[in-house]
Amino acid sequence: MEEILLKCIVVDDSSLQRLAIVKLIRDHANLKLVSEYNNAIETKNGLLDNEIDLIFLDIEMPVLTGFELLDDLPNKPQIIFVTGKTQYAFKAFDYDAVDYIHKPVTKERFNNAVAKAINLYKLKHQIAAAPEDEDYIFVKSNLKNRKVFLNKLKYIQALGDYVKFVTEKENFVVLATMKSFEEQLPNDKFLRTHKSYIVNLDKIERYNSKNIEIDKRGCNLKSV
């Protein structure tokens, strides 16, 4: 993954406290300061115009508190609360806060909180960018929908009115047609090699003009 750069804002009604956090942000290689605000109302408007990854947020502010600001946000960035009060710590984590820093903020404490935010960002984007082999389909079996991960599926075999699924962990049979699954499976990953088989191309070990071999099991490529 390329170097992480979190776009962030600072929200605090104290100009001195904002200045302290802004300096820490500018000294951090993985943070980019987008803006700073002294109240929650301007912050809310600013978030409409900017895509933000992380907010350094005070709690006690005029008109709207930091909590009230978050209550009004449909899509919340990551939050690091920065406050002089300790009594809000438990409530802060009801908002899935990354961390809760007590003022005055030290560089070490700041960097520890940012490290947590970076790790969460990485995790989120790894999940969002999961490779195609993490795709899955649902297969109805015994009146329940069973999740089958495509990267674990070796092949499908026709058995009359039934279809047999062979995966890395288990085999099971369902009442269905091959055609229904042929239409669901990505054609760049799976191939109907024979009227009786659909195979995962990544699982093929050897093949010739008549047979393919998956885990030393032959599957006909052509009708016989």
Which CATH number do you get for residue 35? 3.40.50.2300
Whether residue 31 is found in the same domain as residue 80: yes
- Do 66 and 173 lie in one domain? The reply is no
pLDDT at 31: 98
Domain boundary, last residue among 91, 112, 128: 128
35 and 119, same structural domain?
A: yes
Res. 80: pLDDT tops 70: yes
- Examine the domain organization and report whether 124 and 183 are in the same domain: no
pLDDT interval class at 66 (50, 70, 90): very high
Judgement on whether residues 182 and 197 belong to the same structural domain of the protein: yes
72/182 same-domain check: no
pLDDT of res. 199: 92
What is the DSSP secondary-structure string of 62-109?
Answer: SSS-HHHHHHT-SS--EEEEEES-STTHHHHGGGT-SEEEESSPPHHH
In a domain, 1, yes or no: no
- Closest by Cα among 217, 196, 222, 221 to 205: 217
Residue 51 within any structural domain of the chain: yes
Task: Tell whether 195 and 103 lie within a shared domain.
Answer: no
H helices of 27-65, in order, are 40-49
- The count of structural domains within the chain is 2
The token duo for 149 is 């991960």
pLDDT at 221 over 60: no
Q: Give mean pLDDT, residues 166-186.
A: 90
Print the domain residue range for 213: 133-220
% of the chain surpassing 90 pLDDT: 56
Q: Are residues 123 and 146 in the same domain?
A: no
| pTM of structure | 0.58
Report the sign of the C-alpha dihedral through residues 198, 203, 208, 211, in that order: negative
What's the pLDDT at 220?
Answer: 57
Picking from 128, 146, 164, the residue at the C-terminal end of a domain is 128
Residues 111 and 150 in one domain: no
- 24 and 119 share a domain? yes
The length of the chain, given as a count of residues:
224
Residue 104 CB partners (closer than 8 Å, separation 6+):
20
Q: Is 97 a member of any domain?
A: yes
Two structure tokens written together for 201: 């191309």
pLDDT on residue 215: 73
Return the pLDDT at 183: 86
Residue corresponding to tokens 């899935």? 96
Give pLDDT tens digits for 34-46.
999 999 999 999 9
- State residue 82's pLDDT score: 96
pLDDT at 93: 82
224 falls in which pLDDT band (50, 70, 90)? very low
pLDDT tens digit sequence for 115-173 = 999 988 887 776 455 454 468 888 888 777 888 999 999 999 999 989 999 999 899 99
Q: Looking at 113, 128, 143, which one is the last position of a domain?
A: 128
